């Protein structure tokens, strides 16, 4: 039998692009539209899929939030322009059950959730990925800014080439199995300008479309109003209490506060600025105090997804870099496994405003590799 001399294509398959089927997850934004257009231009068998995630309504059909009604229209126009099939899948029920409901419940539980991570984990990289396989696709491509690189033990997840656009914090739950099937063509680009230039090159109408900023089902960044609609009557009043025990005032509901918050506390007249240091859900108390109380040295993390080559338990502690907020740079830390999916993270330098419900993402201290992460349960 003669060896296969066909070169590997740009998606890593040893066959012609025309024989490689790729499902592209299209939100209607610039990034995923460019991915779909570029792959179609290279001759791949592209199928575009857009998810309808919620009942849009006039309030949500706005620029700056992904997957609203206008975005479905924009995705369809790109498919027509580049001549590939496009489908809209109704995922409203799945999205509500796996993302929105948990967002509401965790917020009421005093956490600060990151629903975009749950959406990637439970909808896009789970149900949509399975749909792609049902369509006999060889892989699924997305517009995320992150890199998939070939390592000695299989594909690895790496930060994007452009640190300003890097989305590794939001993709830490990606499993090794999912990584085998996923592709991220934009991860190697050096800037968003390159993406927009490609959109113009392909004459896409969305080349100047603004980036999405808000959580798609929180139209104006007003979490509290969304929670009140999802859980009517859940916002119960309580006390604002200083860390030293003094009662400073009253609040209209814990859902109006997050750990680290300074503005809008409603307790003026004090000489030093106060911050929300914790939320006591059981007693409906918002605990406030000086900035120093926000510093955390140790973090308990659960639901860990480990992407390292060696077993998570192969050492008592891992010397890594970790990111505890999407907007903060990775910090040096020691990660000590407690069980297969829990760990204690000791920060070498304390971080401020570490909040339950946020992610703690692990990075290799030597390079750009993403080693997984978990969810912050508590910190001290």
φ, ψ for residue 356, nearest 5 deg: -55, 140
DSSP reduced 3-state for 133 = helix
Q: Report how far residue 272's alpha carbon sits from residue 253's, in angstroms, rounded to the nearest whole number.
A: 24
**Helix axis angle, 30-41 to 192-201, nearest 10°:** 50
- Burial degree of 135 (CB within 10 A; 0-12, 13-18, 19+): middle
Given a contact cutoff of 8 angstroms between Cβ atoms, the answer to whether 70 and 60 are in contact is no
Q: Report how far residue 141's alpha carbon sits from residue 34's, in angstroms, rounded to the nearest whole number.
A: 11
Q: Which two tokens stand for residue 76?
A: 């369809």
Task: Tell me whether residue 159 is one of the annotated catalytic residues.
Answer: no
Residue 345: strand pairing partners:
299, 335
**Sheet of 247-251, strands arranged across:** 247-251, 238-242, 285-289, 275-280
DSSP reduced 3-state for 131 = helix
Q: Which of 119, 139, 159, 360 is catalytic?
A: 119
Q: Which of 67, 139, 216, 360 is catalytic?
A: 216
DSSP 127: I
Q: Report how far residue 348's alpha carbon sits from residue 340's, in angstroms, rounded to the nearest whole number.
A: 23
Given a contact cutoff of 8 angstroms between Cβ atoms, the answer to whether 324 and 351 are in contact is yes
DSSP reduced 3-state for 48 = strand
Given a contact cutoff of 8 angstroms between Cβ atoms, the answer to whether 216 and 53 are in contact is yes
Task: Tell me whether residue 119 is one of the annotated catalytic residues.
Answer: yes
Q: Which residues are catalytic?
A: 119, 216
């Amino acid at each position: 039998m003669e060896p296969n001399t066909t070169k590997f294509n740009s998606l890593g398959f040893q066959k012609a692009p025309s024989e490689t089927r790729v499902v592209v997850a299209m939100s209607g934004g610039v990034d995923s539209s460019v991915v779909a257009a570029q792959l179609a231009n290279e001759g791949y068998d592209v199928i575009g899929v857009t998810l309808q995630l919620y009942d849009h309504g006039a309030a949500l059909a706005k620029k700056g939030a992904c997957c609203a009604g206008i975005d479905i229209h924009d995705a369809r126009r790109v498919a027509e322009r580049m001549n590939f099939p496009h489908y809209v899948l109704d995922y409203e029920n799945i999205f509500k059950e796996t993302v929105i409901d948990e967002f509401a419940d965790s917020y009421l539980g005093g956490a600060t959730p990151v629903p975009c991570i749950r959406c990637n984990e439970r909808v896009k990289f789970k149900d949509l990925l399975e749909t792609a396989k049902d369509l006999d696709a060889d892989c699924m491509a997305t517009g995320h800014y992150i890199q998939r690189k070939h390592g000695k033990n299989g594909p690895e997840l790496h930060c994007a080439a452009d640190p300003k656009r890097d989305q590794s914090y939001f993709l830490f739950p990606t499993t090794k199995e999912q990584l085998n099937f996923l592709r991220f063509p934009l991860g190697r680009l050096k800037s968003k300008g390159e993406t927009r230039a490609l959109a113009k090159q392909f004459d896409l109408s969305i080349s100047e479309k603004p980036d999405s900023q808000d959580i798609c089902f929180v139209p104006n960044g007003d979490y509290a109003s969304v929670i009140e609609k999802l859980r009517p009557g859940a916002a119960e009043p309580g006390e604002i209490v200083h860390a030293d025990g003094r009662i400073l005032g009253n609040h209209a509901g814990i859902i109006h506060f997050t750990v680290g918050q300074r503005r809008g506390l409603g307790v003026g007249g004090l000489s030093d600025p106060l911050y929300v240091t914790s939320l006591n859900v059981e007693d409906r108390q918002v605990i406030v105090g000086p900035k120093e109380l926000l510093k955390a040295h140790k973090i308990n993390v659960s639901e860990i997804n480990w992407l390292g080559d060696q077993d998570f338990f192969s050492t008592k502690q891992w010397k890594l870099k970790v990111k505890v907020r999407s907007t903060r740079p990775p910090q040096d830390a020691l990660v000590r496994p407690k069980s297969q999916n829990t760990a204690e993270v000791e920060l070498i330098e304390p971080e401020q405003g570490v909040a339950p419900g946020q992610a703690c993402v692990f990075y290799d201290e030597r390079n750009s590799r993403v080693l997984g992460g978990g969810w912050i349960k508590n910190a001290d």
